[in-house]
Structures are given as C-alpha cells and as structure tokens.
C-alpha cells in the first residue's frame, strides 16, 4: 500500500494498485468497529463526493504518475517531470497538451497489445485481458475492483430502501461468453465474462451475503439457451429464498421470462423428479445442477398450479411476485436502449419495484443509482470520482441546420467534473487507470442534480446519429420517442403489444426513406398498423426530416411487421459470432446485411405512411 499526501483535514488517501479510497476509514475488509460495510461505504462515498474536485485532481495525478513513461503519454508529456508537479498544475498541463481522442486514435496501440507487444504502450500495468464489444478495450484488475466497488455501493443504498436477509439468494440471469486468445496470447471476451471469472465476483457474494441461485458451471456454460433454462429451474427451486431478480440488461430478464412461458411444464417435471431435461447436454452444467436439486413433488405442484393460472387468466401479469413471493424488486439497466423493454418488464413485475442499475460502460464505471425508490424514467447516477478522471464537453443541439454533419450537436471546450452546470447537456470524456486518455465515450448526459459535490447524471442517448439520409438528423432517443408513440396506438387500438424493434435508413431506393421493423405479440389489423406508421412518421420532429418529407426528398416511412421469433434469431446470430447474452443489445438501427436479410425474409406485412400526403 502506498500513502499519498493530502491537505484535506484528516482525510487520508489510500492507493492500492491504482485503486483509490479517500477516507478517514479503511473499508477494504468490509467492517469498521463492528459497523456493517454498507454504512462505511456510504460514509466513504459522502466524503469523496463532498470533495469531488480535489479527489478528481488526485485521481488524474495518480494515473499520470503511474503511466507517464508509457509510449502514448511520452509523445505528449515526455519533456515534463510529472512526478514533481502538484495536482492542479498537472491537470492544466494535461488538458492543454493531450488531445481528445476516439477509440480509432488508440486502436493501433491496443492492437499492438493484442498482437503481443509487451512494451508499456498505454499503461504500466501488465494487460493480459481485453474486453471485446465490437472493439478491444483494456481490462485490468482495476476494472474488476471498480465493478465490485460500485456493486457494493449500490447495494448499500438499495438496502436502505429494500433491506434483504443475509444468506438468501439472488436470481441472476447472467451469462459468460466464450473467451479466445488474441495473436499475442491475451485473453479476449466481454467485460462481464471477465468479471464473472474474477475473484471480485466471489467477494461480492460474500460481502453482500447474497448468493446467486446458479453455480459457475451454468453462468459460464457458453450456451445461452441451456443457461437460461437452468437459471429458471434453480430460481424456481429456490423460489422462497430469492430476495431480488437481476441481470445486466432488462432485455435478458424479459427474454428469460418469455422463455418461461414456453418451458414451465418441463421445469415443473424436473423439480418433481429431481431430474434435468435432456435439452441440457453440456456435461459440466448438467452435473452441477443435478448435484443441487432433489425431488420435490410438492413444490412442483405449487408452481404448476400457479403457472396455469398465470397463463390462462393473467397473460403472465405479476409473474415475479407470484412465483417469487419474497422478492423485493427487479434490478437491471433499464435506461437508454433498454427503455423499450421496461413495459413488458413492468407487466411481469406487477406491483414490484423496478430498480435501475448503475451507469457504466466497457471502458469505465461512471455513476451509481443512489435513489433506488425512483422509477427508471426518473433515475439519475451520481458520478464516483475515484474510478476515472472525468471531463465533460458542453454540447448544444443544432437549430434548423441543413449542413451534412455527422451529428446534431455543437460543442464547447471540456470542463472538469467540479464545473458542470445543472441542466446542461454534456458528452463524457474519460481518462482511466486502464490506459485510455481523454477518451470520448460518445454518451450524452444531462446534469440533473448533485450529491454533495459530485454531479448526478441523467443518461440521454448515444451521440452518434443512427437515422440519416441527407439533411435529417435523428438519434436513438428520437427513434425511441417515435416508436413509443406508435406502439401506444397499437396497444390502444388492438390486442397487441410491441415486443422489439429496429430500423434502417434505406438510401438505395429513391427517394430514400426510413424502415422500422416491429415484432408484435398479438394481432393487429392493417388499418391499425397504417395508423401506427403514420403516427411514427409524423412524430419525427427534426427540422431536416420534416422539410425533406414535405418536399418528398425523403419518402414515406415504412413499417414492417416480422414473424414471432425474428429478434431471437438476430440474437442467435450475434451470439454465434461471440457476443454474450448478458451484454446483448438489439441494434436500434442496422445496415448489417445479414440482419437485414433476416428481417426482410421474416417480414409478413408492410405498410407505408400517409403523413405529408
């Protein structure tokens, strides 16, 4: 352990392997003077939040002290004695000399690491693992440690509102994907896969005194269908012990419960006999589950009666509190691209609270949900100022701008965390312990408030436009609003609901136009679908789009209804190419030819908008 100095009264700054804890209390062992770790971690967070500006400068200083000799930083800071500078001067120097970058700027360095270059290119910490999500991102022990830290912090705040009993279980729909070796021998896979394999994942269960229903063999099985079946089976087997239900993304929970609607009879049979369906063919997974379950005809009968009632009378409404009577809440990421699944998740949860999980990315954790009682639509995330050094680029939406730009924002110079303003929108910039320097994350957030001295962020959207043909500029958030308005008409006018959606900007056929693909549950007449299509087309408010539609330089929006199971087939395509279910997000706009072929081959009905006619 290294001790750094601070002028902050009696506060001490503890630094362990680049993992910084600012507190008068050490909290690594989980308890101080007989008090629970939940109390101490909340006290710790209050202290670092109260002094967020100082903590941020010290965080940056430590990152640069550790890594000033790496190849990337020497290019910008090589002539300066970094270790002799104070934090304020270093912060100013860093921001004046080191440029803002995207992943493409750092990719040559990361690729050299992947190919086996062991020189200190981005960080002095030896990188043996890379996270993969369309691109490589360095993953170090610090990544796992901050994951543990934010889970403990969030659990402490949740326990204030929804206290859980120690020794109980969590029904977690979590999945590891297959890992592989890069050319240079590094292990590559998703960030969640690395975390579930880490010591920190085991520590989290011990510290929170809550244990996942499924053993490691189910989590790491590599076949999401078999893992989902076993998650559901063991979740129901331990149904009276389950304190809450969770997954990384809301999609995974909805997907699992949709599957339960089809397979509950098989699960009841397995519980009754203490057996395991022949669909589970992976030997390690099969053995691990069979070592846990034993015959329980009474429980199987109870579940069977309950599922029959849920299926016939309630369309599975309130599935969660009915099958898991002691569950306190459902916990998952429900913001951003997960928002469209919240309606179905609410259906399954009944009156049980939906609690939005914390805000992070493959590159870094960012903020914790300190208000778990708030609905997902109102959630904010308090930035944890020890995880990375954060900058914020003030951005402003363009007004009636017809220039062919790549997004619809103009921006000012970045500001530090301590200078953000309430109500202002920003793009987040990260400097991390894992070797990313002034890295533009691409997330657009709004400062919705403050916890002590650290901002509470509302996630708005990804900055990149997803729908554009010429002068039109529409983001994922714009698309979500439009689809929500159309789906409201669907549910009002027909006994149907939206299951999932994506879109495509067709610029091949002239005039170019937007195509929105819907998978729906239930039936809807063509008249209703035409009304939904017209409503969506009329709901795009981007000035460039409206003008283009009026002049017919963009054609009428097209709504395509696809067969049941289309988006599951898309999921299987992604998983077949190495994605993990726990990190899967339906692409809200796609130009991927394989996905478009699936969508078009499985389309059963097409309607065109009559707006602007």
Question: What's the rounded mean pLDDT across residues 11-26?
Answer: 36
Question: What's the rounded mean pLDDT across residues 231-256?
Answer: 91
Specify the pTM: 0.74
Peptide bond into 511 cis (omega under 30): yes
Question: What's the rounded mean pLDDT across residues 26-45?
Answer: 51
Structure tokens at 302: 């109870």
pLDDT in tens, 569-601: 888 888 777 666 666 778 888 888 889 999 999
pLDDT in tens, 85-95: 888 888 989 99
Give me the chain's average pLDDT, please.
82
What is d(CA 230, CA 219) in angstroms, rounded to the nearest whole number? 9
Q: How confident is the model at residue 408 (pLDDT cuts 50, 70, 90)?
A: low
β partners of residue 42: none
Residue 29 has pLDDT above 70, yes or no: no
Q: What was the pLDDT predicted at 581?
A: 67
Closest CA to 567 of 592, 595, 590, 529: 595
Question: What's the rounded mean pLDDT across residues 365-383?
Answer: 92
CA-based torsion, 141, 143, 146, 148: positive or negative = negative
pLDDT in tens, 281-297: 999 999 999 999 999 99
CA-based torsion, 155, 371, 340, 390: positive or negative = negative
In this structure, of 134-143, 341-350, 542-551, the range with the lowest mean pLDDT score is: 134-143
What is d(CA 545, CA 549) in angstroms, rounded to the nearest whole number? 6
pLDDT in tens, 313-327: 888 999 999 999 999
Q: What was the pLDDT predicted at 195?
A: 67
Q: What was the pLDDT predicted at 330?
A: 94
Q: How confident is the model at residue 118 (pLDDT cuts 50, 70, 90)?
A: confident
| Higher pLDDT among residues 399 and 15, named by residue | 399
User: What single DSSP character describes residue 35?
Assistant: B
């Amino acid at each position: 352990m290294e001790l750094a100095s601070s002028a902050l009264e009696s506060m001490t700054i503890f630094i362990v392997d680049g993992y910084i804890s600012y507190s008068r209390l050490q909290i690594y062992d989980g308890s101080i003077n007989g008090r629970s770790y939940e109390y101490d971690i909340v006290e710790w967070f209050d202290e670092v939040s109260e002094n967020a500006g100082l903590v941020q400068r010290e965080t940056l200083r430590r990152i640069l002290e550790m890594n000033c000799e790496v190849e990337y930083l020497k290019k910008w800071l090589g002539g300066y004695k970094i270790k002799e500078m104070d934090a304020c001067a270093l912060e100013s120097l860093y921001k004046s000399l080191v440029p803002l970058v995207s992943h493409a700027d750092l990719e040559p360095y990361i690729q050299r690491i992947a190919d086996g270059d062991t020189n200190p290119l981005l960080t002095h910490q030896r990188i043996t693992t890379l996270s993969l999500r369309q691109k490589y991102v360095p993953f170090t022990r610090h990544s796992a440690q901050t994951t543990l830290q934010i889970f403990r912090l969030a659990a402490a705040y949740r326990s204030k509102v929804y206290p859980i009993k120690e020794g109980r279980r969590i029904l977690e729909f979590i999945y590891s994907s297959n890992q592989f070796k890069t050319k240079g021998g590094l292990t590559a896979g998703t960030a969640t896969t690395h975390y579930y394999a880490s010591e920190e994942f085991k520590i989290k269960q011990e510290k929170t005194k809550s244990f996942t229903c499924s053993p490691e063999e189910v989590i790491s099985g590599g076949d999401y269908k078999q893992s989902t079946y076993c998650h559901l089976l063991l979740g129901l087997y331990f149904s009276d012990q389950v304190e809450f239900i969770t997954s990384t993304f809301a999609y995974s929970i909805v997907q699992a419960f949709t599957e339960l609607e089809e397979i509950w009879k098989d699960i009841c049979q397995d519980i009754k006999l203490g057996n395991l369906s022949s669909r589970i063919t992976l030997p390690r997974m099969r053995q691990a589950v069979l070592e846990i379950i034993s015959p329980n005809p009474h429980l199987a009968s109870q579940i069977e009666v309950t599922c029959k009632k849920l299926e016939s009378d309630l369309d599975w409404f309130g599935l969660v509190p009915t099958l898991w009577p002691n569950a306190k809440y459902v916990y998952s990421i429900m913001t951003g691209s997960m928002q469209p699944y919240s309606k179905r998740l609410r259906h399954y949860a009944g009156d049980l609270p939906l609690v939005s999980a914390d805000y992070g990315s493959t590159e870094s954790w960012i903020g914790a949900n300190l208000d778990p009682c708030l609905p997902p639509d109102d959630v904010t995330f308090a930035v944890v100022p020890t995880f990375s050094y954060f900058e914020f680029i003030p951005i402003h939406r363009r007004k009636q701008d017809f220039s062919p730009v790549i997004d619809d924002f103009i921006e000012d110079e970045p500001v530090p965390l301590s200078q953000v303003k309430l109500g202002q929108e920003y793009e987040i910039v990260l400097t991390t312990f894992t070797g990313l320097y002034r890295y533009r994350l691409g997330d657009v957030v709004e400062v919705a408030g403050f916890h002590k001295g650290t901002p509470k962020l509302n996630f708005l959207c990804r900055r990149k436009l997803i729908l554009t043909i010429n002068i039109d500029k529409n983001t994922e958030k714009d698309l979500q609003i439009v689809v929500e308005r159309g789906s409201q008409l669907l549910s009002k006018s027909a006994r149907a609901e939206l299951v999932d959606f994506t879109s495509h900007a067709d610029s091949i056929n002239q005039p170019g136009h937007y195509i929105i693909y819907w998978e729906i549950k239930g039936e809807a007449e063509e008249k209703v679908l035409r009304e939904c299509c017209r409503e969506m087309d009329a709901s795009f408010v981007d000035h460039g789009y409206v003008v283009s539609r009026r002049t017919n330089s963009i054609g009428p929006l097209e709504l395509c209804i696809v067969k049941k199971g289309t988006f599951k087939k898309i999921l299987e395509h992604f998983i077949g190419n190495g994605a993990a279910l726990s990190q899967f997000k339906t692409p809200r706009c796609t130009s991927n030819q394989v996905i478009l072929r699936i969508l078009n081959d499985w389309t059963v009905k097409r309607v065109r908008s009559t707006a602007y006619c």
